[in-house]
Structure 1
Amino acid sequence: MLKKSIEKAVSNNVLRSERDMERDQYRNPVATLDFFGVQPNMTVAELGPSSGWYTRILAPLTVENGKYIALNNSPTPGERYERGMQWRETFIEHKSGMFGHNASARFIGQTVPFAAPNSVDTVLIIRGMHGQIGRGDVNGLLAEVLETLKPGGVLGIVQHREREDFDTDPKETMRGYVKQSYIVDLVKKAGFELAATSEINANKKDPADWENGVWALQAGKPIAEKDQKFREIGESDRMTLKFVKPVK
C-alpha cells in the first residue's frame, strides 16, 4: 500500500514534466524511496532540492499527512542571501499549493538546527554529498542531521560513485564522484549505523573515469540532445545507502 502511494506520486503527477519522467529509468524514484522507507505521513527533509526533480515527487506524497522541508546550505561569506532562499521562492511559495501548509524551507549549518531534536523521519541527500564534502563542514551537517532525526530515523544517500581503484582525494570534489567506502566511513564516524546498501541506481555502463567528471555524461540535457555515446550510457553509476540514527 505504501509503495503504491510512491508509485502514484511518480506516475500520476501533473507537476512532473516529460523531461522529469524520462529520467525515471536512471533515477528509479519508486524503488529508491521505497528502499529508504519514505511514507506519506512522514516529515521528510531534502538537502539541496536544486531544480526540484525529487521535490515534485515528495511534495504530493507528503502534502496531506506529512511534511516536506527544503534544506539549503547557509550562504557563505560574500554570497547573496537571496540566492540561498531560491528554494523558498521556487517551491515553498509556489502558487500550485503542492506543498500544503506544513512545508517549510530552512538553512542547515546555522546556530539553530533546521528542526527540533528527534522530530524528522527521513533526510535525503540525493546526488549531493560531493558538494557537502567540498564545502568543508560535512561533519557539522551530519551532526545536525543526527540531532534532528528521530531515533531509528533514516538518512538516505544517493551519490555518484567513484571507482575504489582510483587514487583520488575525496575532498577534491570537482569530479562529482566519491568513493562509497569513504562515505560509509564518514557517516558511520558521525554516529550513524549503516542499515542497508542497494544497487538500485548502479550503472555498469558508466566507467566513472571521465576527465571532466560526472558532468561529462550530460545529465542536464534532454536525452534527445545528448551525444550518442552518452545516450547509450545514461546517467552516472550511483551508490544508494540507508543509514539510521541509533535507538538508544
Structure 2
Amino acid sequence: MKKILLALLLVGGFPSVQATGETDPLSKVIAGAHRPTEHKARDQYRHPGQTLEFFDVKEDMTVVEIWPGDGWYTEILAPYLKVHGKLYAAHFSADAELPYYQKSLKNYVTKLSKQPDLYGKVELTELQPPEALKIAPDDSADRILTFRNVHNWMQNGQAAAVFNAMYKALKPGGILGVVEHRGSSKKPQDFTGASGYVSEDYVIALARNAGFEFLAKSEINANSKDTKDYPEGVWTLPPSLRLKDQDREKYLEIGESDRMMIKFIKPIQAFYRAAGLSPV
C-alpha cells in the first residue's frame, strides 16, 4: 500500500475524474466564448493548453494561481476546475500600499463578480510579502502556478519568502510550475530583476533553497528572436510596447519574450516526515 501511495504522490496526485464521454475539456475551455478576443490572440505566445499539460494540471486538482493579474489564466483555470477541482487565486492585498496593486485587485474582483457561473467558486487569498504569505492551507495544493512573476518578487527583495510560502502550501508530491522571462545565461544575474529577465539557474536556485527538487523544463514558450537587450527591458516587447511607436513593427515581429518553463516537486520525504513514517 505504501508503494502505491508513493507512486501516486510522485506523479502529483490521484487520477483525474472526467465525465463519461467528455473529451479534452481543457481545449474546450481555451476555445470558450467567455475569453476575450485579445486574450485568445496571445495564445500563440503563451500556449496555455501545452503549458498546463506540461505542468500536468488535471480538472480534479486543487490549484493555486499566484498573482493572477487581470485573470488571463483564471479564465482558463476557473472553468476547468469548477466541477471537480478547486482554484485559489493568490492576489494582492486590499491593504497594499501601491495604488497599482489596489487597482489590479479591484479589477480582478469585478471581473469575477460579473460571471459567477464561471468564477463563483474561485477563492481569493493574499500574497503581499512580507506580511501576507498564506496563499492556501498548508499541504493542500496539488499544483501552484506562477506566470512571469519572479522578477517582481526580486524587485521587492521577497523572492525567497514567496518560494517558501509556495512550498508550504503544496502537498508533498505536488508540483510548482514556473513561467518566467528567460534571461541570458551568458550575463550575470541582476538580483533586482530590473529588466524583467531572470536566468534559469537563478530560478532553480530559489526553488531548491526553499526545499523543492527540479523535475523538468520545457521549450514550449521559447522565442529565439528575443535578444533580451532592450531600452525598457522586457516591457519593450509586446504586449507592453513601452516605446510606443518607436520601432514598433520591429518589436511586434519579435513577439512576446523568450520564456522558461520549469516544474519542481515538493519532495515525497515531506509526506513521510508529516506522517511520522520512514521513506521506503
TM-score (norm 1): 0.88
Partner of 1:156: 177
Once the two structures are TM-superposed, the CA of residue 77 in structure 1 deviates from its matched residue by 6.7
* SS of aligned partner of 2:194: helix
1:178 to 198, 212, 229: 198
Once the two structures are TM-superposed, the CA of residue 155 in structure 1 deviates from its matched residue by 0.8
Q: Does 1:213 align with 2:229?
A: no
Quote the Cα distance in structure 2 between the aligned partners of 1:64 and 1:100: 11
2:259 to 226, 238, 245: 238
Once the two structures are TM-superposed, the CA of residue 112 in structure 1 deviates from its matched residue by 6.8
Quote the Cα distance in structure 1 between the aligned partners of 2:254 and 2:70: 23
Q: What per-residue deviation string (whole Å, max 9, x for no partner) do you get for residues 117-140 of structure 1? A: 111111111011100121212222
Aligned length, in residue pairs = 242
Contact 1:196-1:241 at 8 Å conserved across structures? yes
Q: What per-residue deviation string (whole Å, max 9, x for no partner) do you get for residues 136-175 of structure 1? A: 122221111111111111110000011111234222x221
Once the two structures are TM-superposed, the CA of residue 75 in structure 1 deviates from its matched residue by 6.3
Q: What per-residue deviation string (whole Å, max 9, x for no partner) do you get for residues 164-191 of structure 1? A: 11234222x2211111111111111110
Partner of 2:53: 34
- Distance verdict in 2 for CA 1:88–1:218, change over 3 Å: closer
Q: Which runs of 5+ in 2 are unaligned?
A: 1-15, 270-280
- Distance verdict in 2 for CA 1:93–1:208, change over 3 Å: same
Quote the Cα distance in structure 1 between the aligned partners of 2:161 and 2:204: 16
Contact 2:70-2:104 at 8 Å conserved across structures? no
Partner of 1:67: 86
Once the two structures are TM-superposed, the CA of residue 76 in structure 1 deviates from its matched residue by 7.4
Deviates more, 1:189-198 or 1:159-168: 159-168
Identity %: 36
Match for 1:66: what amino acid? G
Once the two structures are TM-superposed, the CA of residue 60 in structure 1 deviates from its matched residue by 1.0
* SS of aligned partner of 2:118: coil
Quote the Cα distance in structure 2 between the aligned partners of 1:88 and 1:28: 22
Contact 2:63-2:86 at 8 Å conserved across structures? yes
Match for 1:26: what amino acid? Y
Quote the Cα distance in structure 2 between the aligned partners of 1:138 and 1:157: 13
- Distance verdict in 2 for CA 1:112–1:216, change over 3 Å: closer
Partner of 2:126: 107
Partner of 1:15: 34
Match for 2:212: what amino acid? F
Contact 1:92-1:104 at 8 Å conserved across structures? no
- Distance verdict in 2 for CA 1:160–1:127, change over 3 Å: same
Once the two structures are TM-superposed, the CA of residue 96 in structure 1 deviates from its matched residue by 4.0
Deviates more, 1:67-76 or 1:116-125: 67-76
Q: Which runs of 5+ in 1 are unaligned?
A: none
Quote the Cα distance in structure 2 between the aligned partners of 1:106 and 1:200: 29
Match for 2:45: what amino acid? Y
RMSD: 2.4
Partner of 1:134: 155
Partner of 1:247: 268
